[in-house]
Amino acid sequence: MSAIINVGAAAAASPCLVPGRAARAKRDKLCRIKRAARKLFEQRGFEATTTREIAAEADIGAGTLFLYAGSKEDLLVMIFRDDIGCSTDRAFATLPRKPLLDQILHVFRAMIADHAAHPALAKVFIKELPFVRDDRHGIADFMASLYARLGRLIDGAIRSGELKAGVPVLALAHNVFAIYFQTLQRWLGAKCPSPEFHEADLRDSIELQLSGLRNRSPRPRPEGANAPSHKRLRPASQE
């Protein structure tokens, strides 16, 4: 309690200086913790890494670690949201003015690029994150936001006439992400994964999903073509 009172008194005496230092120190310590966790998850795997080892790598006490993250799962989600969250934010901010398929691939391409840069950590993500308890760690919030943003792309395609009216937006957002995630698993889960992700399979699979949902514009009929086609094409001698 005395420590809290002393910090409060210092903050009152210098309201700008002390909180700034404290915030920077807290932020720097959290960065060290996440950097240590990232390194150990990549090198040793998620299951083999302990919070005590993360604390030692970050040069902090084991008890201090729990002031920043309650568990390894918390740290894994923090790292995922830092990496993939930033990638998706950039992707949605730079969407091309193209059909829906290209926009969706633009988003997934950014996520894949991040995984390709850190394949060992990406394997931890795809293995562990689907089983993280959503009510404690916030991965559900991230996914809900991603589905909503994909949904807005789909809704835009419906309003522009690219997709049929009545397409279930959220269900389609879930479907295209499931296709992406399954393709990602096949790539990273291979015995000898290629260092590069081959996009063709992902494109073909999402195209197959979208193909039956697109509007098919009818061909324009010639002027004055009101009579049934079988009559128009009948030879004059049969008229």
Specify whether the CB–CB gap between 41 and 76 falls below 8 A: yes
Q: How confident is the model at residue 196 (pLDDT cuts 50, 70, 90)?
A: confident
* % pLDDT > 90, the chain: 53
**What distances in angstroms separate CA 200 from CA 28, 64, 124, 157, 205, one per listed residue?**
41, 47, 24, 22, 9
Sketch the domain layout of the chain as residue ranges. 14-70, 71-214
Region at 73 (left for phi over 0; alpha for psi -120 to 50; beta for the rest): alpha
Report the distance separating Cα 42 and Cα 118, nearest Å: 8
DSSP 8-state code for residue 163: B
Position 1 pLDDT exceeds 60: no
Average pLDDT over every residue of 73-91? 91
Report the distance separating Cα 27 and Cα 29, nearest Å: 5
Q: What is the pLDDT of the chain when averaged over all its residues? A: 82
pLDDT, position 132: 73
Beta-bridge partners for 158: none
71-214 has which CATH code? Answer: 1.10.357.10
Please identify, in words, the CATH class of the domain defined by 14-70.
Answer: mainly alpha
- With helix as H, strand as E and coil as C, how does 102-154 read? HHHHHHHHHHHHHHHHCHHHHHHHHHHHHHCCHHHHCHHHHHHHHHHHHHHHH
Beta-bridge partners for 214: 163
Would you tell me how many other CB atoms lie within 10 Å of the CB of residue 82?
A: 13
- Same CATH topology for 14-70 and 71-214: the answer is no
185-192's contacts with Cβ under 8 Å and 24+ in sequence apart are 185/126, 188/115, 188/119, 188/122, 188/123, 188/126, 189/123, 189/126
